[in-house]
Chain A
Amino acid sequence: MTSHAATAPAALPAETTTASAASKALTAGIAGIALTIVGYFVSGAQVAAMSWLVGVTYWTAMAIGFLLLVLIHHVVDASWSVVIRRQWEHGLASFKWLALLFLPLLISAWVKPGLVWPWMDLSHPIHGGTVGTDVLYAKKAGFLNLNMFTGMTVGFFGSWILLSYLLRKASFSQDNDGAAKWTFMNRRTSAVGVIVAALSLTFAAVYWVKSLEYHWFSTMYGVWFFANCMRGGLSLGIIIMVWLLHRGDYKGVYNTNHIHCISTLAFAFTVFWAYVTFSQYFLIWNANVPEETFWYNIREINADGSPNQWKYVGIIAILFGHFVVPFCLMLSYRFKTTPVIIRRIAVWILAVILIDMCYNILPALKLPNGDPQPFFSITLLWVLTSVVGVGGVCVWSYLKSFPTTKLIPIRDPRIVESLTHHE
């Protein structure tokens, strides 16, 4: 039976301090960054930069997931998600730090072009010639050039930071005065913002990740990235929800239907991710055009035809880990509504999203003979330190924002509807 929070709790739990957890997160973040710098000296600039790209892209995807969830919440005027929306808004505080953490990559692009993205260096050898003489580059040069890359990246972070600022300000102001205008303002911001976010995340995925192999093209790429953003945002949302529930903050707020809704949405995006990822693979497999198939070939076989590690990463982690396992588990109502179980599934999804990012980014690192570096290499260590480094800063920014407002938007017009949410 569902427990009902028919009346809003008389006194919300005091905003218990998260200061110690925040400082722990920041310590972990700085340690991760420091270790990645060690990686720079141990494994060289290219490996460290590529690992850092995985870390920053991974956490940016999570933050974009939060942003999209808040935008969609306002656009469709959702009611159930009001009790969790505030936590997503706190998560948006990470964008300005992510922009700062992306800066080393942007600087590397200017100081040492071609370190991460080969097309930035016109003398970079490719298929017997150089990028500069490559007709496929010449055709794309209007889009793939350093000025565009820099401007667009600044634009992506600028638009995300601006949207986050507007959404947070309106939502937090409503706690004080309860004015309906903030809800309308957020709805207008979101109507525009949802388009801005969709375009910016697509181009970010194309510039940061897809252009690592600039010969390759896939119209599904932005959608693939979007699916990962949503899955990441929802999984982190589940983890935060269970955390607040176990801490006691959600007493009188939470009911089973809230976690059922967020888990069902996570389930839906599991199917969506599989649909998109399979479509991309299937169309390339079926058309069998060399400009496209090479991207999957280097993720399956070495130049001599022997299978490489990425083949097994693709089958085990991407096909089964990213889709089959969470899909089968989340078919069950009991698993979706038992906080401890769904939290485990959410952690699992977050882990496989990271492997998905590695699968898309790391094979761009080549061995001396031209084959991609294997999955299990020292690079993986620097990927993990980067993820801890960027993640620590993101979690710190969330925890720092957390005590500055009420736990839930208590004066949102739909708060009572959300508190009494029933499937």
Chain B
Amino acid sequence: MAAQIYGLIATFETVPDVYHAAQKVRDAGYRNWDCISPTPIHGMDGAMGLKRSIVPRISLAGGITGFCTGMLLIWYADAFTYPLVVGGKPYFSPMFAFPVSYELTILFTAFATIGGMFLVNRLPMHYHPVLKYDKIPRGMSDTFFIVIETRDPRFNAANTKALLEQVGGKDIKELEA
């Protein structure tokens, strides 16, 4: 049985090559693909058509949860289960619940941000099909790659290969899953 194909990988020599190639792959409508580069490339997110991350929304949800938890915690402890007058203050006031809510807002926002980041980027990832490619170590020093996955709805072995050739990709190979 033939090994399943993960996708096609193409090699690029320079930053402008891979940058402009990425723009064309983006314009061709591909969704499940990636660029591999030894360094960050400014503006690559735009060239690849990546949207802003959803992590900030997860952070916001975490923050709101933290704030409400703090308020509820103080209300539950001081006004509900064991009402006790302290310093002549009311059983519950948002005033003294605020420091706790504020701290929990920050704590839960931090947890949600870190957790959300790992959820979205799916790290740690112990295996990735491109690791089988024998030239991949050069992607950590002086070479750039574009990988288009077979699960992309627009993937078609012949057309995708033609696209990668047309945008200037060299040495196009199939990757085993």
Contact = CB atoms under 8 A, between A and B. Distances in A.
Interface in B89-120: 89, 95-96, 98-99, 102
Given A288-B88, A331-B60, A278 B43 contact: no
Interface string A286-316: 1010000000000000000000000000000
A331 B105 CA distance: 14
Chain B's interface size range is 10 to 19
A260 to B, nearest CB: 11
Contacts of A2: 43, 46
A278 B43 CA distance: 41
Contact of A4 (B43, B87, B102): B43
Interface of A: 1-2, 4, 275, 278, 282, 285-286, 288, 331, 333, 420, 422
Contacts of B42: 4, 420, 422
A422 B42 CA distance: 7
Residue from B42, B52, B102 whose CB has the most chain A CB atoms within 10 Å? B42
Given A286-B89, A331-B60, 4 more contacts: A2-B43, A4-B42, A275-B102, A282-B96
Interface of B: 42-43, 45-47, 52, 56, 60, 87-89, 95-96, 98-99, 102
Contacts of A333: 52, 56
B60 A282 contact: no
22 contacts: A1-B43, A1-B45, A1-B46, A1-B47, A2-B43, A2-B46, A4-B42, A275-B102, A278-B98, A282-B95, A282-B96, A282-B99, A285-B95, A286-B87, A286-B95, A286-B96, A288-B87, A288-B88, A331-B56, A333-B52, A420-B42, A422-B42
Contacts of A286: 87, 89, 95-96
A249 B174 CA distance: 50
Contacts of A1: 43, 45-47
Nearest to A333: B52
Contacts of A331: 56, 60
Contacts of B102: 275
B1 to A, nearest CB: 44
Q: Give the top 10 A-B pairs by smallest Cβ distance, nearest first.
A: A1-B46, A422-B42, A285-B95, A282-B95, A4-B43, A2-B43, A333-B52, A2-B46, A331-B60, A286-B96
